[in-house]
Amino acid sequence: MSKIPEKGFQRAEPFGRRRHSPNLAKACAKAALAAFFCVLAWAMPGMAGRASSVDALCAAMSLEEKVGQVFTVYFTGPVVSDDLRSLIADYHIGGVIYYSVSGNVESPAQVAALSREIQKAAAGTPKGVGLFVSVDQEGGPVARLRRGVTLFPSNMAVAATGNPDNAGIMARIMARELSALGVNVNFAPVADVNINPKNPIIGIRSFGQDPAKVAAFTAAAVRGYSREKMLCTPKHFPGHGDTAVDSHLGLPVVAHDAATFARTDLPPFQAAITAGTRAIMTAHVELPAVDPSMAPSTLSHKVLVGLLREKLGFQGLIFTDSLGMGAMANTVGTVEAAAKALAAGADVLLFGADKGHTTDQQRQAHARIVAAVRSGEIPMARLDETVRRILTEKKRLGILAARDIKAPETDPQKLAARLATAAHIREAEKIARRSMTLLRDDAHLLPLKKTGLTLVIRPRRGAPDVDEPAEAALSAWPGVRLAPVSGDPSSTETTEVLALAREARAVVLLVSGAATKPGQARLAQELFAAHPGKVVLVASGAPYDAALFPDAPCLVATYGDVPASLTALGQSLYGDNPFRGVCPVDIGLAGPFAPDSR
């Protein structure tokens, strides 16, 4: 892969204090006149990009335009709706985020066309500033685009390969494909150190439980995104790995003391900063070791400024996690959280497609911040600092002037030549094959024979764009009969599966989230009892599921169920691909764990 050079930017040096002379007076007059036309240029429609100074653009902006720049918002539908057009034209938003659940994602060509029209709408505004077009495309379970692009295994699967270079490869390929769709910000990688097996929201999104290893993989991913000029946001600062509450629903507390926090949660973010990340995303967590007031980190000046900026030296953009999440909406409220986050030191306020969150709240938050600045509650200097930082980053990305942004290709055939290419898919498959982990095979059930019937049982996730590709990958195994069941199988389903198992030479049972789905555990135990010696249990989500079945004779971990991982699983079970993965977390069983992760 060729390296894309990055062009730096220059900031004008301020004049020093000197004695005035006629020549100096003339020079100053010329400079003042030039500055006037510079500001005038920014104030005219479509003129963004012709002035060299970010400061001039900031000076030309109204208060409402400045406030709009800090907003990255969600919207509904696959096209630029009247609602979104109003947010761009009337509220001067600085960015958007795509969600499949909001109907923003139908096909690659549609997404590319949407990105094109969004920037076209931005180009028609008085200042013509381009928008951040963002998405959560982490790999594994969190991927808003799932069809027509390269789907990579989860971060934990990547870490199971033991090679941080794979994180860089994944980042570069995802960046290239997202760029082809007009996306310029990816909310990845996850830098959380997952040391809590009961963490309901991080799990396989993490690179594991060893801070040094998570740091190495995070840094490699940051370098990969940077090489492709994609803004990435290592998340969720200051760390979401040791929580037992989903911040989409409530407000978690990280109970680490200062020493534990420093050696566990901070290293990946320190590594990301050293690797050159230009953005970081916050976590909605309370961290009393840093802020005894128990202010959520997203709203904490001590966390965002005192820790991240002053102690860690980070000078890039601070993105909030979505302010519509339960941790904010159910406590201070989404609108109030926006004002508090900006006052605390955040730069970009993210409004996601969260339950109960409406686009009207985005408008209300805009009005709330405008009023806060006018009243002096939020100093104008605080807002200007953030706006300059945002505009500077947009200039670096080449999106400061929307009219100058190269429109993405929207022809499906031409676009397909840049997405999910054979070379890209090969890299995803290589990572998947290298990640396959054999935790136990006491009964020597492996490799499976390719003759005879293999019954494969998979709990469905209830999402067609996940289930259909997964089942297609499993159906391609030799001699397979696929038996999909519901996510929490009923007793009737269990009876039906037991009958099918009698006809099979081998049974492969996939489990995912079994700790909270008793039907999966019941099905597994009845299969073990009825068919001892022929059941292979696969933890196809978090490997912690394997610990629920300590008596299972054969245990395998895949760290997710993207098609590449399920294809690699079949190759490993049938002996065509050796099990070489090392589990990045300790699941409490004897097995191939990273030696310094236990």
Residues serving a catalytic function are: 321
Tokens of 75: 């919207």
3-class DSSP state for residue 583?
strand
Distance between CA atoms of residues 176 and 419, nearest Å: 8
Cα–Cα nearest to 98, from 122, 114, 119: 114
Work out whether the CA dihedral 422, 424, 426, 429 comes out positive or negative.
negative
User: How open is the CA angle 208-244-141, to the nearest 5 degrees?
Assistant: 50
Work out whether the CA dihedral 385, 390, 393, 395 comes out positive or negative.
negative
Q: Which residues pair with 510 in a beta bridge?
A: 538
Residue with tokens 């600085």: 94
Cα–Cα nearest to 83, from 368, 393, 409, 359: 359
Pair type for strands 437-441 and 554-557 = antiparallel
Tokens of 254: 């990280």
- Quote the radius of gyration of the chain (alpha carbons, Å): 26
Could you give the count of Cα atoms lying within 13 Å of 192 in the half-sphere of its Cβ? 27
366 touches 342 (CB < 8 A): no
- Give strand ranges (E) for 27-112: 71-73, 95-97
168 touches 230 (CB < 8 A): no
Element (H, E) at 251: none
Question: Percentage helix, strand, coil, to 5, in the chain?
Answer: 45, 10, 45
254 touches 265 (CB < 8 A): yes
- Give strand ranges (E) for 477-586: 480-485, 506-511, 535-539, 554-557
List, as one string, the DSSP characters of 389-441. Answer: HHHHHHHHHT-SBGGGSPPPP--HHHHHTTSS-HHHHHHHHHHHHHH-EEEEE
Cα–Cα nearest to 319, from 219, 384, 231: 231
448 touches 206 (CB < 8 A): no
Tokens of 109: 């060509």
- The amino acid sitting at 202 is I
109 touches 86 (CB < 8 A): no
Cα–Cα nearest to 60, from 132, 128, 133: 128
Verify cis geometry, omega within 30 degrees of 0, for the bond prior to 584: no
User: How open is the CA angle 395-146-463, to the nearest 5 degrees?
Assistant: 135
Crossing angle of helices 518-530 and 491-501, in 10° steps, is 30
Tokens of 521: 């555990």
